[in-house]
Structure 1
Amino acid sequence: MASLPERAVRPRLPEPAPRARVRWSERLEPYLYLAPSLALLAIFTFYPIVRSIYLSLFLTDPLGRPRVFLGLQHYANALSSTFLQSMGVTLLFVLYTVPVGLILGFVLALLAHQPLKGTRIFQLIFSSPLAISAAIGSTIWVMLLNPVSGMVNYLLGLVGIAPIHWLTDPRWALLSVGMVSIWLRLGFNFVLMLSGLQNVPDELLEAAVVDGAGFWAKTRYVTLPMISPTLFFAAVVGVIHAFQVFAEIEIMTAGGPSDATNTVVYRIYQVAFRQYEFGSASAQAILLFIVMVVLTYIQFRLGERRVHYQ
């Protein structure tokens, strides 16, 4: 039996913390880690969306301050104005750029993935558009497509083709801007496709060769299904980028000629910062947001059925 002095010097064990206090601390800890990201999202994403919805209900002054409540009048005016024409131009731009960009990115990645000497050089060349900004790339192509002194028309003249007014002819303007957009996005698509090809298991390709499959059969039945998640991601991101194109339009055509390249985003920019109708521009921005959400939902509903996840 321990003596009294021994009992007196024995250290006391700390009392356990209340269960409620421990439970609340465990619940709050993850939100503390997320707080910086949530703050940035709230400032630069959620607040602008809420502010745009609020401004779309008002007639604003040139400084963007709401003055007269109009309700949904801006939305009705947008749906009955040239907004729908701009939406049609944007959809054409998406159809011109996204499929061609995906196909070119995949073909170039497939060529650069072959076990040949010098493929590193081609990989560097094909991915080089990533290092070029949209403003610089558009300026370069404005000079190349100049109908009088441009290099493109000069090369066409060598084979007997008459000069083409690439940026001033409504028949060619949207195609020309789309070509530049494809080139600017080619590096991104190439890098995505190449990373997807590098993740295809060699065992599957070797098994296909043993079964007698050729290059095209391996590509169709092995490579494409295995990189379908990469293709799906590139398609979704490509559509979103095509809807938001701005720099190429501003530098190359400024929405012309005859509104042939006046996409939705560029029209919103004109209404907001040239006509100073911030309420109308906010309503059109919300309509564009709704269209993009619907299209993304359709892509996920239809596209994910053909995506093969490992």
Structure 2
Amino acid sequence: MDSRKQRLAWKENTIGYLFLAPSLLLFCMFLFYPLLKSVYLSFHLTDLRGHVAAFAGLENYSSLLRSEGFWNSLLVTVKFTLLTVPAGIAAGLLLAALTHTKLKGMRVFRFIFSVPVAMSVSTSSVIWMMLYHPTTGMLNYGLSRLGLAPVQWLTDPAWALISISLMTAWMNSGFNYILLLSSLQGIREEIRDSARIDGSSPLRTFFQILMPLLSPTLFFLTVVSVMNAFQSFGQIHILTKGGPAGSTEVFVYSIYKEAFVNFQFGTGSALALVLFVLILLLTWVQFRFVEKKVHYQ
């Protein structure tokens, strides 16, 4: 009897692994192999075709630490993260708080506020490129109507990163909005009714009662948004190409430029691994310290 159960369990496990095999194959091809290849290349010098030319040891990493471009891209990425993550989550939370009621016609607004999640980075970048146009863009037209001077949104180093961050926060707001709205709708109505009976004002109810109940979703969005901010590339490549004067050259764009513009695949691989370690450390810090303040129901 035991041998029959063992054969049945072995058969079930084999069938399960067969179903998983295509996914595991894709993971090996597009995740594990590139990761191991990047580790290998980061310790070597390469030619223009990406072939290994010589063993470099830790030279690629030490040259990064001595490079001003490395520290500039790291600083720009940190600024970009600080500008986009809180703004994107705050926008999603505000819109969710305004539209979670069951008023007539609210579904139209929910659809409008969810639109950014369905738009690709390239489409969003083209739309905002037209908005940021120095002469025909709607933003400068609005400033001119207010009697203000036009702004060079994408060519002024003082405004370029802010402009990219504004667009990115708008792109992220759709995903944040959908998750926060779902979380708000998942809170039992009895909790709001009890707070109302106790004389709690709407603002007090939201910040002292509903916000702690939303903390798991807010924590998840913070972790995901930070990872996405450190991996942003498309909008920077389309709108500014890291300029002007390196003011929008985030970490991933430095990897792209080093590997596919300068053809330094060893240094590019080292940069990619540094980015991997940074994201890993940031995620660990958030789970180690921030999660303590999360209120799980």
- Shorter-chain TM-score tier: over 0.9
1:194 pairs with 2:177: no
Match of 1:279 in 2: 266
Corresponding residue pairs, total: 296
TM-score w.r.t. length of structure 2: 0.95
TM-score w.r.t. length of structure 1: 0.91
- Cα separation, partners in 2 of 1:69 and 1:123, compared to 1, 3 Å: same
- Cα separation, partners in 2 of 1:233 and 1:55, compared to 1, 3 Å: same
Query: Following the alignment from structure 2 to structure 1, what is the Cα–Cα distance between the partners of residues 210 and 152?
Result: 41
**Structure 2: unaligned runs, 5 residues or longer:** none
CA-CA distance at 1:24 after TM superposition: 4.4
CA-CA distance at 1:189 after TM superposition: 0.9
Helix, strand or coil: the match of 1:217? helix
Match of 2:242 in 1: 255
- Equivalent in 17, 35, 42 of residue 49 of structure 1: 35
Q: Which has the larger radius of gyration?
A: 1
Query: Following the alignment from structure 1 to structure 2, what is the Cα–Cα distance between the partners of residues 224 and 33?
Result: 41
Query: Following the alignment from structure 2 to structure 1, what is the Cα–Cα distance between the partners of residues 177 and 164?
Result: 20
CA-CA distance at 1:268 after TM superposition: 0.5
Amino acid of the structure 2 residue aligned with 1:70: A
Between 48-57 and 138-147, report the one with greater CA deviation. Answer: 138-147
Match of 2:275 in 1: 288
Match of 2:49 in 1: 63
- Cα separation, partners in 2 of 1:150 and 1:19, compared to 1, 3 Å: closer
Match of 2:195 in 1: 208
Match of 2:159 in 1: 172
- Equivalent in 62, 65, 73 of residue 76 of structure 1: 62
Query: Following the alignment from structure 1 to structure 2, what is the Cα–Cα distance between the partners of residues 26 and 113?
Result: 45
Match of 1:245 in 2: 232
Match of 2:26 in 1: 40
Query: Following the alignment from structure 1 to structure 2, what is the Cα–Cα distance between the partners of residues 20 and 222?
Result: 52
Match of 1:301 in 2: 288
CA-CA distance at 1:210 after TM superposition: 1.6
Q: How does 1:116-135 map to 2 (within 5 A)?
A: 116-135=103-122
Query: Following the alignment from structure 1 to structure 2, what is the Cα–Cα distance between the partners of residues 298 and 20?
Result: 43
CA-CA distance at 1:25 after TM superposition: 4.3
Helix, strand or coil: the match of 1:108? helix
1:123-180 Cα distance to aligned partner (Å, 9 max, x none)? 0110111222111111111121111221111110111110111111110000000001
1:93 pairs with 2:75: no
Helix, strand or coil: the match of 1:148? coil
